[in-house]
Chain A
């Protein structure tokens, strides 16, 4: 079985993003891109399944611009993925989740995977649309908020748990299907140094944007367009209210809330 895991390069959590000159997105200069938490869990799950299913392999796939996308795919190979497919797009394309889903689905169309795993949402935009959208385009059922995937070779069915309000729901499914993984339930492994060195030499299959564009036809542009990327306005400072006694403080506070902030009538 080939398990495909879809991943996305996202800015490292500690990065301070700045808007680019056009204020259409962030300025990627100096930004470090990494596998986000949900994707790390997805890769870990794919590798755990691989280790439990003899003869299976894991392919990582990612839709994004260079060099960040190639780098996260190499990181996935260093973690233990057997192969990687880079579905490339120009850095200024700014795709939405639906276009990403279509592009990844088109890249996988030649040999659709039996099991596609991804994080339930990306680590940057967190819209959570991608898993369901890929499932819809590929015509396979998708299961989100999943943890703890197990493959039963005798029944040829996949079991998993889904986070629902107040507990976990156990689900059993046939393949093909798509699973959106919850974050960090499985303690993602760290790539070992020799594997990092090997991953640098791994051959990554690259699908150029022209090819994806031809396959997608009129769908080759984002459906929703991000118009502006701005930092939030700086917050104004708090005002200290001087007082003589707790009763005086309460009175002055209520007056300020009513007369200045107009919180009460």
Chain B
């Protein structure tokens, strides 16, 4: 039988994240959402407490947490604000390629600096012309002596305007498709690197998103991760690691929606009694609770698989896909429980629906996840 009990250490990490979420994130969530404001002060404080570079091993000054531990933290943070959480965990996504594909020297020089002082990094894979079809990316990397010259544009880049380092995927020859892709790390102050204007988004409005342009940006060969052509594999293995925490983020949104709906249902009266005493509402709450519970357990299961040293491709795709779909359903029902008030911005639940939507799209759309799930599940039957 699997053991679902958390260790005291895991409880302490969860407590830390919960306290941070309640005292630092939640009080600013509505305002940052309304104004589309990036909460620099929250980000810095998250870094100070060690909540930012969760996946960086202790030898480089990070916390070196396993994926189960990371998921516990991410769920708590997302309960308060999914947008801020996306920005807090963006470093994990951006630095994972360096962990996976970097040489010891590259890891030491880059990762240590992120642990010794506050910096943000951004993962630059998606392009205006395609997200899911990463093999078709168009950003060019032309070799010129001991440099590569990068040209192209990346879009939907989390923390783009605030990052001091970009991990960039570019191709030496688009005709080679996957086999032509290389991974680089590119400091923002490299000439020819320009983050674009911040996007106006439906949800995750506390998170900052922009394009990043590369125009004749000269990047030393020493900043290439792995060999020429390793880029696609580095990107996919990175997403294998970071997909599961998106399940945790979606679980946090769903739990928040359930918490708000349950508390409100006990206060709001219709027909002479709290609406929680009407079966119509009870059934909604019961379905929401099932979704939240299943999302959490699928996420823990995927994280545990990967912590055991297995790839966990099937499990992490199921977790990300299920949890984000569940977050949409639960947030939707929470609004319904709130009725007209749920549609008003003065109440917290409409934000949850807008935030949940992104979890179905980013880090591999749920359509891509289903393709992966189908491929993996059919394998034993073939």
By Cβ-Cβ distance, the 7 closest A-B pairs, closest first, are A193-B50, A200-B9, A192-B50, A196-B12, A194-B50, A192-B49, A193-B63
Q: How far is the CA of A59 from the CA of B169 in the complex (A)?
A: 51
**A-B contacts at CB below 8 angstroms, number:** 35
Check A194–B12 contact: CB distance below 8 A.
no
Does chain B have a CB within 8 A of A163?
no
Contact partners of B51 in chain A: CB under 8 A: 193
Check A196–B20 contact: CB distance below 8 A.
no
Q: How far is the CA of A74 from the CA of B11 in the complex (A)?
A: 12
Q: How far is the CA of A160 from the CA of B96 in the complex (A)?
A: 50
Does chain A have a CB within 8 A of B277?
no
Check B50–A75 contact: CB distance below 8 A.
no
Check A190–B12 contact: CB distance below 8 A.
no
Q: Which residues 5-59 of B sit at the A interface, judged by CB distance below 8 A?
A: 8-9, 12-13, 16, 19-20, 48-51, 54, 58
Does chain B have a CB within 8 A of A207?
no
Contact partners of A190 in chain B: CB under 8 A: 16, 19-20, 49
Q: Is the interface of B mostly helix, strand, loop or mixed?
A: helix
Contact partners of B54 in chain A: CB under 8 A: 193
Indicate which residue in A67, A74, A196 contacts B13 across the interface (CB closer than 8 Å): A196
**Interface residues in A, total, Cβ within 8 A:** 15
Does chain B have a CB within 8 A of A181?
no
Q: List 15 A-B contacts (CB under 8 A).
A: A71-B8, A75-B12, A190-B16, A190-B20, A191-B16, A193-B13, A193-B51, A193-B54, A193-B63, A194-B50, A196-B9, A196-B12, A196-B16, A200-B8, A200-B12
Q: How far is the CA of A74 from the CA of B13 in the complex (A)?
A: 13
Question: Closest approach, in angstroms, between the C-beta of B69 and any C-beta of chain A?
Answer: 9
Question: Closest approach, in angstroms, between the C-beta of A11 and any C-beta of chain B?
Answer: 14
Residue of B nearest to A12 (CB): B15
Contact partners of A200 in chain B: CB under 8 A: 8-9, 12
Interface membership of chain B positions 155-196, coded 1 if the CB is closer than 8 angstroms to chain A and 0 otherwise:
000000000000000000000000000000000000000000
Check A193–B16 contact: CB distance below 8 A.
yes
Does chain B have a CB within 8 A of A178?
no
Contact partners of B16 in chain A: CB under 8 A: 190-191, 193, 196
